[in-house]
Amino acid sequence: MHKFFIRFFVSSLVLLFTFTVAAIAKDVKAAFVYIGPTGDHGWTYQHDVGRKAVEAAGFKTTYVEGVPESADAERVLRQLANSGHDVIFTTSFGYMNPTNKVAKEFPNVKFEHATGYKREHPNVSTYAARFYEGRTILGTIAGTMTKSNVIGYVASFPIPEVIRGINSFTLAAQKVNPNIKTKIVWAFTWYDPGKEAEAAKALIDQGADVIAQHTDSTAIVQIAEKAGVYAFGQASDMDKFAPKAVLTSVENNWGPYYVDRVKAVANGTWSQKDTWHGIGDGMVVISDLDSQMPADLRSKVKKLQADLASGKVHSFTGPIYDQKGNLMVAEGKTADDGMLAGMMTYVKGVEGDIPK
């Protein structure tokens, strides 16, 4: 009986605390819809880190994980909107149409769609991160650190986001080392540790001594560690998985944006926006640079990082040619956001074809 009372007391306290926090936060409730499980340690995991930041700022949050990009998404969204959520973040490209459709039915609920471009109703905003800026940094490091001049790249699916990353990476690597070759292997998965490991092994066996990845698991950096080659962390700092191999990581940092937007809802200042933040706004974060990199490279990277942040340097500065030698971006110009958003051609220097 004694134990029961302690438990009762503690749980009442917890309940009381929750209610108090909710009251302070003016009852603004935020919901998050995830494509994968929060345990993927990649894309969804990072969004959930952002959600926890919102929670830490005193707001109530809910999340639904593993929501397919189908009619199911609509049902989940409608249910969340019906159950008193004031702002709903939909964190995958495929939720674009469901988000807009449900937004029409619930004009008082705010919708925030990640990586999309459709804002059909005043209560829909979109946001994305300029990850390609991070890949410019990775390319610079890879081009400098490679000895075999073969760089491996494990890609996921042929969509503009991934192609843009490959291009930005290759352009930067070529700039510091015109002799490099980027070998691309498509794994056709966002995360399957076994498959990613096999893809990385194949690239290493074929002479790649730096491996970049656009898939989410930590398998690739672990394989690189075993094989004694370099690699880069994806989405979160993966240094602890492969302390020798990982030179740096590009981290997705959604927290500040999420807190900002939920606060705006609470203050009544929320308005429709299209956000595309990069290194400068802190949405793309470069982890600590490994000490194996020579000091001059490290300072060069630091400078590049600052220049990308200030806008002095753009990842896609002309002249840029495609594989056939056609001019994509003229000398002195930079690629505009429209071109970046729909980028589906390789730049010169990337080997192979984009899978159709």
Footprint on this chain of another protein (rule: CB under 8 A)? 36-41, 45, 152, 183-189, 191-199, 201-203, 205-208, 217-219, 222-223, 236, 240-241, 351-353, 355-356
In angstroms, what is the minimal distance from the CB of 236 to another protein?
7
- The 3-class secondary structure across the chain, one letter per residue, is CHHHHHHHHHHHHHHHHHHHHHHHCCCCEEEEECCCCHHHCCHHHHHHHHHHHHHHCCCEEEEECCCCCCHHHHHHHHHHHHCCCCEEEECCHHHHHHHHHHHHHCCCCEEEEECCCCCCCCCEEEEEECHHHHHHHHHHHHHHHCCCCEEEEEECCCCHHHHHHHHHHHHHHHHHCCCCEEEEEECCCCCCHHHHHHHHHHHHHCCCCEEEECCCCCHHHHHHHHHCCEEEEEECCCHHHCCCCEEEEEEECCHHHHHHHHHHHHHCCCCCCEEEECCCCCCEEECCCCCCCCHHHHHHHHHHHHHHHHCCCCCCECCEEECCCCEEECCCCECCHHHHHCCCCCECCECCCCCC
Give the other-Cβ count within 10 Å of 114's Cβ: 24
Nearer to another protein, 119 or 183 (CB): 183
Whole-angstrom Cα distance, residue 75 to residue 77? 5
Nearer to another protein, 200 or 265 (CB): 200
Dihedral of CA 32/268/128/49: which sign?
Answer: negative
In angstroms, what is the minimal distance from the CB of 241 to another protein?
5
Nearer to another protein, 213 or 218 (CB): 218
In angstroms, what is the minimal distance from the CB of 167 to another protein?
18
In angstroms, what is the minimal distance from the CB of 312 to another protein?
35
Nearer to another protein, 117 or 157 (CB): 157
Nearer to another protein, 241 or 270 (CB): 241
Nearer to another protein, 33 or 219 (CB): 219
Nearer to another protein, 220 or 284 (CB): 220
Nearer to another protein, 29 or 201 (CB): 201
Whole-angstrom Cα distance, residue 162 to residue 157? 7
Q: What is the largest CA-CA distance in the chain?
A: 80
Nearer to another protein, 20 or 206 (CB): 206
In angstroms, what is the minimal distance from the CB of 77 to another protein?
23
Whole-angstrom Cα distance, residue 173 to residue 182? 9
In angstroms, what is the minimal distance from the CB of 271 to another protein?
36
In angstroms, what is the minimal distance from the CB of 243 to another protein?
9
In angstroms, what is the minimal distance from the CB of 83 to another protein?
23
Cβ pair 131, 284 in contact under 8 A: yes
Nearer to another protein, 187 or 286 (CB): 187
In angstroms, what is the minimal distance from the CB of 119 to another protein?
32
In angstroms, what is the minimal distance from the CB of 227 to another protein?
10
